Homo-oligomer: A and B are copies of this chain.
Amino acid sequence: MTNSDRNKAKKLSTEPYKGVRDFFPEDMAIQKRIFGVWRNICEKYGYEEYGASVLEPAELYRAKTGEEIVNEQTYTFTDRGSREVTLRPEMTPTVARMVTAKRRELGLPLRWYSIPNLFRYEQPQRGRVREHWQLNVDLFGIDSIEADIEIISLAHQIMKNFGAKDEDFSIKIGDRRWLDWLAVELGDFTKTEENKKKLFRLLDTKDKDPEKYMRGLKEIDTNLTPEIVSGKGIDWEAIDKKLNLKLKQIIKRLENLSITNARIDLTTVVRGFDYYTGVVFEIFDTNPENKRSLFGGGRYDDLTSLFGGDRIPAVGFGMGDVTIRNFLETHKLLPDIKNPTEIHICTLEEKFIPNAQELAVRLRAKGINVSTNLTDRKVGDQIAWADKRGIPKIICIGDEEAKTGRFRVKDLKSGDETVTAESEFVL
């Protein structure tokens, strides 16, 4: 090894790959708390968890999103068998693939959820990382608004279980069919798919950046005015009837389920997802300093036909870990997260380590999470180590404890000590 080799080896970086995150235990604990609420509520609603690999054939995304997105915004590479592989940028094509594959065996309706990691190739910035985790919830096989109601109320319940109040967030509900109708009404401008997308992107800025939105409206060559968008002068009854939208009914039914923060907003777009075909919804942070879109979803009835199968009605949403963690932090809804270890056993001398390990085995059999000192450090240092990690209680083992089987349990927060016999010990 030359000197230059050695220096090179020495400099092997401890940084993760650009745009992805390391989860040290305290970050992981927050992640687990978020995943825990997600799993808990999904299962409360009768949803079953599924999973898949992060690797998918690239063609899965080409079919719907077009070459450009696959090439520029995803991680796509060629494997040694000349297969084009993509690190999944979203879960919906995967779940559509899986449901189509086993449709008959599975039997509709299906209630499914998953918490995949997703990859996007973009410049890392706040809230935009290259890898994030996303809860995906989908209900397959129901054509009626019952499915939209269930999915929206499940999304609402997740927010509630994170500790959010109805006033902390709002649910905007729209319908893609209205946007399609609007696009037709607007005449020439929206005749091209490109301009239609431009319009949708513009509508998406309405609440997030009103100035940009007004500027944009003036710039595009169309008869679209702020009045039309906000619904002034539009004959809603006629449009509702014509398009058979059932948004008012959905709002009413959600109210009956004690959901008070849902409202109709026909400009609800849920950006970037071209496959929606009906009701769409988007959850917003109501914090005036940060009126972000938190997540969204909607009905996509045509996706399974990509695989040559029959049309399967579907409603779903995705909720990302980064956005929700920011929301929880902003609203001070992240609880203090405890170390799962409940007791640390300290040893007065190194020779008591075997006693500590044997005691630990017996306490674990009672269901207690126990770590034991394995060092020759002084007891004070052992206690400091446990305290630094947030382990709430300690036991010290010395001659007397080893002989009598009675020991002192100390609560590190209160300083309280109790003496107990092992046989009577409960936490």
Contact = CB atoms under 8 A, between A and B. Distances in A.
Interface of A: 9-18, 20-25, 28-29, 31-32, 43-46, 48-57, 59-60, 63, 75, 77, 79-81, 83, 85, 97-98, 100-102, 106-107, 109, 111-112, 117, 119, 121, 130-131, 139, 141-142, 144, 146-147, 149-150, 153, 157, 253, 256-258, 306-309, 339-341, 344, 353-354, 357-358, 360-361, 364, 368-372, 374-375, 385, 388, 391
B385 A16 contact: no
A371 B50 contact: no
Nearest to A370: B46
Contacts of A121: 79-80
A369 B48 CA distance: 11
23 contacts: A9-B63, A10-B308, A11-B308, A13-B57, A14-B97, A14-B309, A17-B53, A17-B57, A17-B85, A24-B106, A31-B51, A44-B368, A45-B369, A46-B344, A46-B372, A54-B117, A55-B130, A80-B121, A109-B374, A144-B374, A150-B372, A157-B364, A257-B357
Contacts of A53: 16-17, 20-22, 117, 131
A131 B55 contact: yes
A85 B11 CA distance: 18
Interface class of chain A by DSSP: mixed
Given A46-B370, A146-B353, A257-B361, A52 B22 contact: yes
Given A22-B98, A57-B17, A306-B9, A28 B46 contact: no
State the number of copies, please: 2
Nearest to A55: B17
A340 B370 contact: no
A364 B45 contact: yes
A357 B31 contact: no
Given A44-B369, A79-B75, A121-B79, A142 B52 contact: no
A14 B146 contact: no
A146 B24 CA distance: 25
Nearest to A376: B144
